Amino acid sequence: MSCAKQALGVLASLLVMSTASAARADYFPPASERPAAGVGTMPFRLGSGAMRHDQGIFVRPQIGFGNLAAEIKSDGGTQTVDGLASSFGLSVGGVVSEGLVLHGTLAISSIPGAEVDGATPITTEQERNFSVTSLGFGMTYYTPANLWFSAGLAPHQMTLSTSSSSCDATDCPQDKTTDDYGMGLRAGVGYEWWVSDDWAIGLGVEGFAAGGSDISTYGMTTMFTATFN
C-alpha cells in the first residue's frame, strides 16, 4: 500500500510540473530575469534573443510608397509638385532602455517624371525629377505588444532636376538642377510581428515636413519594415 501511495504521489508531482511548464511555454521573462549574454559588459549587444527590445544593436531598413508634395519659389512665381513617390529608409542605433531606441536615420523619397504646375511650357522630351533626402537622428519607442512610435529631426536636401533625353538642338531646353536645404521633422507609427528571436517584420506609416529658403516639402509614406534587434 505504501508503494502505491508513493507512486501516486510521484505521478501527481509530474502532472503538476507538466501543467506549470505548459502554462509558462509562451512566457518571455523580463531582462532582469534572464542571464546576460556572454559578451562582457558592452552596452549594445548583438541581439537580445528573446523577442523583446531590451538590449542590443538596432537596425531597421524600410521601403514603401506614398504621396510627396512641394512648393518651389522661382523668378516666375511659385511652382507646385505633387505625385506618387517611392521611398527608402534605414535606421541604425541601439537600445538604451527596454523599449526605447536611439538611432540615426537616412530617408530618401523621390518622384520620377514629376509634374510641375505653373512652369514654363516644355517639350515632351524633357523630364523632371523631384527628390528629398534626409540624414539625422531620432528615437523609437516599442510597447510590450510591439507597436512602435518614432520621431526625429534632420536636415533635408530637396532637389528638382530637369533633363532632356532627346530633342532638336534648336529647341532643346537646358538641363537644370535646383537644390535647397532645410530642417525637417519626421514621425511614424507601425506594428511588427516577431519571426525569430532577433528579427521582426511589419507595416508602418511615416510623415515628414521640411522647409528651406526656396523649397518647402511634405509627404506621407506607407512602408514595410524589417527590424533586427
CB 110 within 8 A of CB 128: no
Establish how many alpha carbons lie within 13 A of residue 228's alpha carbon, considering only the half-sphere containing its beta carbon.
11
C-alpha cell at 40: 562582457
* Cα–Cα distance measured from residue 72 to residue 170, given in angstroms and rounded to the nearest whole number: 28
Q: Residue 38's pLDDT is what?
A: 43
SS3 for 33? helix
Q: Residue 171's pLDDT is what?
A: 55
**Segment-wise mean pLDDT, segments of 10 residues, the chain, 229 residues:** 49 43 46 49 49 90 96 83 94 96 97 72 65 96 95 95 64 72 96 94 97 94 96
Q: Residue 18's pLDDT is what?
A: 41
Q: Residue 226's pLDDT is what?
A: 97
Q: Residue 114's pLDDT is what?
A: 80
Name the helix (H) or strand (E) containing 169. none
Cα–Cα separations (whole angstroms), residue 104 to 135, 152, 162: 7, 9, 31
pTM reported for the whole predicted model: 0.72
CATH for 2-228, options being 2.40.160.20, 3.30.460.80, 3.40.1410.10, 3.50.50.60:
2.40.160.20
CB 36 within 8 A of CB 49: no
Taking the domains of the chain in order of start, what are their residue ranges? Answer: 2-228
Q: Residue 176's pLDDT is what?
A: 76
Q: Residue 23's pLDDT is what?
A: 43
C-alpha cell at 208: 515628414
Q: Residue 24's pLDDT is what?
A: 42
C-alpha triplet 177, 136, 114: angle, nearest 5°: 30
